[in-house]
Amino acid sequence: MECTVYIATSLDGFIARSDGGLDWLPEPGAEDYGYATFMESVDAIVMGRNTFEVALTFGAWPYEKPVVVLSSRPDSLPGPLPPGVRTSSGDPDAILAELTVAGAQHVYVDGGVTIRRFLEAGRISRMIITTVPVLLGSGVPLFSGVTRDIRLQHVQTRSFPNGLVQSEYRVAPAPR
């Protein structure tokens, strides 16, 4: 099972403002930074509750793939859930085992806490991180709270005319 992170951060490492705001991201335009191609390769999405609630504000539900929303309080999620969305409070291994049985081979992992949980469990194999040239000063950090060194192998870096820089990494296996 391949698990990939595809996320944008500010130059100072935040994935959202402290209130969850994403107004600092570039407006959608002609360039999708490889997102459509990436999404074509994905069989399922695992996201945290906060990320799910932000996605609900986008208007129409943006995902056609099965989505698992991680929450320790699934009963308090805003409902009804969009088609193809289910909740779980399981650990990464249990969630991925369920998705494997359902035929998933490539999972998109999204949301700060969820990404950290999957990294700690050694389940992230690839990360595509797009850095937006803006300093927020504070907000929701992408990697805060990681409790061990996680070695990365650089695959490639692309730059875009608007100043965004996208780097892809393979996550090195944890030493045994």
pLDDT tens-digit series, residues 63-83? 999 999 998 776 677 777 888
| Res. 54 pLDDT band, cuts 50 70 90 | confident
Q: Running DSSP on this structure, what letter comes out for residue 75?
A: G
Q: Are 131 and 165 in contact (CB under 8 A)?
A: yes
What integer pLDDT is reported at residue 1 of this predicted model?
92
pTM: 0.92
What integer pLDDT is reported at residue 38 of this predicted model?
96
Question: CA dist 44 to 25, 26, 91, 128, Å?
Answer: 24, 25, 16, 17
In the CATH hierarchy, which fold is given to the domain comprising 33-171? Dihydrofolate Reductase, subunit A (3.40.430)
2: pLDDT strictly greater than 80: yes
What integer pLDDT is reported at residue 70 of this predicted model?
92
